[in-house]
């Protein structure tokens, strides 16, 4: 698969990308702290892919329960796929607002790159594109968190200008995370320079 930097986009999940998305799930693609899916779960998605895509695009409302039993409302968010010509590379979940849970633990963003494309700059590029998207919403800085045991995620954050805030003491039953503030990208020219210098064309 040759990468064409100019055609990599972040967009909403759609059916055209599903075959490649299923391949990525079989490779072990996952986002954030979630485990990779089992063969049974992937088969279920393959057989009900239209519903799965609709669910990914659905704006959840109501509340969710953290592992320690704390209950929090969902915040407005979008789940986006990083693709090139309908080839699935990875995903970004972007919370438009922070509540106590997202401030204390999960931050604005969760991301994942399919294993066969890790280490090629795709994670760094995904956060860069998201920084531009967030700036367009008027957000000036993004809270991005990572496990101290996830050096690749931490490097993605640092590559995007992240500055360490602290190690959060509010975990709600999850593991501790490092919290970083990442500036959003109001500079379209700068975004294009980053695309041009990304190592993805290797």
Ligand X SMILES: CC(C)(COP(=O)(O)OP(=O)(O)OC[C@H]1O[C@@H](n2cnc3c(N)ncnc32)[C@H](O)[C@@H]1OP(=O)(O)O)[C@@H](O)C(=O)NCCC(=O)NCCS
Q: Identify which of residues 54 and 173 has a Cβ nearer to ligand X in the complex.
A: 173
- Which of 160/184 has CB closer to ligand X? 160
Residues 163-182, interacting with ligand X (CB under 6 A): none
| DSSP annotation string for 136-199 | HTT--EEEEEE-TT-HHHHHHHHHTT-EEEEE-S--TTS---EEEEEE----HHHHHHHHHH-G
Pairwise CA distance, residues 109 & 33, whole Å: 12
Task: Identify the residue among 148, 151, 173, 190 touching ligand X (CB under 6 A).
Answer: 151
Q: Six-digit token pair at 98?
A: 């922070």
Helix (H, G, I), strand (E, B) or coil at 57: helix
Residue count, binding to ligand X (CB under 6 A): 22
Closer by beta carbon to ligand X, 36 or else 139? 36
SS3 73: strand
Q: Check binding of 111 to ligand X (CB under 6 A).
A: yes
Site for ligand X in 7-46 (CB under 6 A): 30-32
- The residues that touch ligand X, with contacts defined as CB under 6 A, are 30-32, 110-113, 118-124, 146, 150-153, 155-156, 159
């Amino acid at each position: 698969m040759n990468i064409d930097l100019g055609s990599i986009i972040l967009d909403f999940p759609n059916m055209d990308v599903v075959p490649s998305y299923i391949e990525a799930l079989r490779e072990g693609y996952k986002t954030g702290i979630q485990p990779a899916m089992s063969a049974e779960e992937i088969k279920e998605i393959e057989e009900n892919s239209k519903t799965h895509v609709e669910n990914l695009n659905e704006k959840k409302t109501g509340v969710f329960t953290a592992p320690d039993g704390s209950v929090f409302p969902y915040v407005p968010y979008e789940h986006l796929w990083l693709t090139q010509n309908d080839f699935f590379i990875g995903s970004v979940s972007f919370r438009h607002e922070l509540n106590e849970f997202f401030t204390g633990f999960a931050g604005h963003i969760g991301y994942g790159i399919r294993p066969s494309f890790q280490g090629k700059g795709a994670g760094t590029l995904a956060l860069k594109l998201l920084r531009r998207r967030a700036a367009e919403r008027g957000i000036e800085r993004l809270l991005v968190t990572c496990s101290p045991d996830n050096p690749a995620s931490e490097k993605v954050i640092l590559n995007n200008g992240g500055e360490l805030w602290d190690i959060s003491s509010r975990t709600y039953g999850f593991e501790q995370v490092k919290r970083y503030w990442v500036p959003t990208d109001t500079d379209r020219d700068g975004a294009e320079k980053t695309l041009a210098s990304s190592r993805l064309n290797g």
